[in-house]
Amino acid sequence: MTRNPVFWRAKGRRPFSDVDFVVVFIVSENWWLRVAASPVELPETFMIAHRYAASRMFERPRGTNDWGPEDMAKRRFVESRFIQLAESFGFREVSTPTFESLDLFTAKSGSAIVRELYAFKDQGGRDLALRPEFTASILRFYVSDLRSRPKPIKVYTTGNVFRYEEPQKGRYREFFQLNAEIIGGATLPSDAEVLALAIGTMRAIGLKQVKARIGNIGILRGFLPFAPADQAVVLHSLDKRNFPMLDAELDRLGRPDLSKALRQLVELSGDVSILDQAAKILGSEAGAGFEYLRKIADLLDAYGVSQQDYAFDMGVVRGLDYYTGMVFEIDSPNLGAEKQVGGGGAYNLAEVFGGERIAQTGFALGLDRLVMSAEAERATETPRPLDAYVVPIGEGVQKKAIEVLMSLRAAGLGADIDLVGRGPSKNLDYANAIGARYAVLLGEKELKASKATVRDMASGVQREVPLTDLVDAILSRPARGPEPAKPKRRAAGTRAERSRRR
Ligand code: HAM
């Protein structure tokens, strides 16, 4: 498509040389806008505009995202809090393929699931699918390779997953999960451990608005005297709170009498006291399931999980077919429609994949939604600024400037250098724009004296520093005037570099 650049000049119709700035914009399926801050920038601005007008632009596939440096800093912050906590709980990291045999996902859920997947044939005619979650892959891995390990097996993984969904804010076709599973522990303590890790992760991120809803799908399954496929349809209607569908299904199955109890049950939500009400609705047979949830509450108390952070909710049904016992979902109320940031529970997949009957429980948190929630609550950390931006002044100093740069990097500082060949004042503008704490100016005169000029970018204060003290100077607090004397430290870098500096 051809795009026609439109030029708009500030200060009315006057020659370009006489204006303060020029705005160039192009109207197409995307808006494109560039401001030439001064007449000097005009040629470059025009060139970019014409190149843009002539070229083809590619768009991201629907439901996917690009993440810039600021986004990635927030995402890594959230992810690292999960990883730190999971490691401290004794979980260890695993990794599984991004695509799997299609059968892995249809084995439990049937072929209807295919329309929710990115399923494809490879060039060898094999039916494959991009993973829509991690749980099935980890259980496949368990059955094929991890079974002989001491139990329980506690693993976590993070990465991208793919679902063919209708995209909207917070709901994507490629999204990221933080996932943890326990295989082979006793059911009750394992369920409590995954709940404590899931809720703890929210707290470790610094989120205040945390609400887990804990239910027990085992109780519902026990109450529904139907074959698994029919049970799944009834549970699906309860999950969606689609009561007309529920009634139609119960009519079809000849048990319309169950409708009232089910409707009452899924509306129950609150503290431990609702378990008594729920038990009354379902009768004595469901007693053990409610007792189990009471014990979960006791263990969460021992973990230090606040009662404010969770409620019991008999309406938690979960969308995936493999859950068998305790189930939970975590909401972040500040997110609007797509407020569910995580979910999980006890399930059975090992047997479906040819393994033994063994307890399995776990959860996944949606990274994209967690980050949105952390942004809304201002819980994300600001990214670490660049410590030093090295500015070589003059052709002859470039090699030495790189050596200085590398000595800063070797000391663990974040350091960058001019890669464009700009003059000092443009370089200072750039250092300012990227948020560097210090600029390290290296001219021939300074280097002859084995010194650098260090400029505190926040205060503008400049001072000469011996190269041997450069790391200390940059590690120190921002300068407000003359710096107090610092104890001498061995300068970073190789011995050859240090002797050269002396
Ligand atoms: P899930 O509830 O399907 O559970 O997904 C977990 C989380 O992933 C959701 O709570 C949500 O935050 C996020 N999520 C789901 N779909 C999307 C989407 N389209 N866009 C953005 N975020 C999304 C599972 O995946 C289970 N495998 C969890 C589990 C592990 N159960 C036992 N072990």
CB 133 less than 6 A from any atom of ligand 1: yes
Ligand 1 center–CA 393 separation, angstroms = 53
- Integer CA distances (angstroms), 278 to 29, 217, 271, 324, 328, in order: 55, 13, 12, 18, 17
Among positive and negative, which fits the CA dihedral 289, 293, 295, 296?
positive
> Which residue pairs from 122-130 have beta carbons closer than 8 angstroms and sit at least 24 positions apart in sequence?
126/101, 127/101, 127/102, 127/103, 128/99, 128/100, 128/101, 128/102, 129/99, 129/100, 129/101, 129/102, 129/104, 129/105, 130/98, 130/99, 130/161, 130/162
H or E element in which residue 329 lies? strand 323-331
Contact 470, 415 (CB under 8 A): no
pLDDT at site 49: 60
Kindly give the residue spans of alpha helices, DSSP state H, lying in 12-114. Answer: 42-54, 69-88, 102-109
Q: Token pair for residue 211?
A: 């609400």
Backbone angles phi, psi at 462, to 5 degrees: -115, 145
Site to probe by mutation for ligand 1, drawn from 161, 162, 175 as the one with most ligand atoms within 8 Å of Cβ, is 175
CB 456 within 8 A of CB 437: yes
Distance CA 273, CA 8 (A): 68
The best mutation among 320, 326, 341 to test binding of ligand 1, ranked by most ligand atoms within 8 Å of the C-beta, falls on 320
Distance 146 CA to ligand 1 centre (A): 24
Check if the beta carbon of residue 389 is closer than 8 Å to that of residue 436: yes
Ligand 1 pocket test: pick from 64, 100, 108, 133 the residue with the most ligand atoms within 8 Å of its Cβ: 133
- The SS3 assignment for 55 reads coil
Query: What pLDDT score was predicted for residue 31?
Result: 46
Atom number of ligand 1 nearest to Cα 340: 10
| C-alpha torsion 136→139→143→145, nearest 10 | 110
CA 237 to ligand 1 centroid distance, Å: 19
**Burial annotation 382-392 (CB, 10 A radius, 16+ → b, else e):** eeeebbbbbbb
Q: How many residues make up the chain in this entry? A: 502
Amino acid residing at 176: F
CA-closest candidate to residue 394, choices 427, 416, 434: 427
What pLDDT score does 478 carry? 52
Kind plus residue range of the DSSP H or E element containing 462 = strand 462-466
| Cis status, amide bond into 424, omega within 30 of 0 | no
Q: What is the dihedral of CA 141, 158, 171, 231, to 10 degrees?
A: 30
Listing from the earlier edge strand, what are the strands of the sheet with 127-130?
99-101, 127-130, 119-121
Of the candidates 319, 316, 318, 365, the one whose C-alpha atom is nearest the C-alpha of residue 113 is 319
Pick the closest to residue 166 from 62, 319, 321, 58 (CA basis).
62
pLDDT under 50 in the chain at which residues? 1-19, 27-32, 479-502
CA of 334 to the centre of ligand 1 (A): 18
329 CA → ligand 1 middle, Å:
9
Please tell me the distance from the alpha carbon of residue 290 to that of residue 293, in angstroms, as a whole number. Answer: 5
Whole-prediction pTM: 0.83
What number does the ligand 1 atom closest to the CA of 364 have?
Answer: 28
CA 341 to ligand 1: nearest atom: 12
Residue written as token pair 């690292």: 80
Q: Which residue has the tokens 């025009």?
A: 46
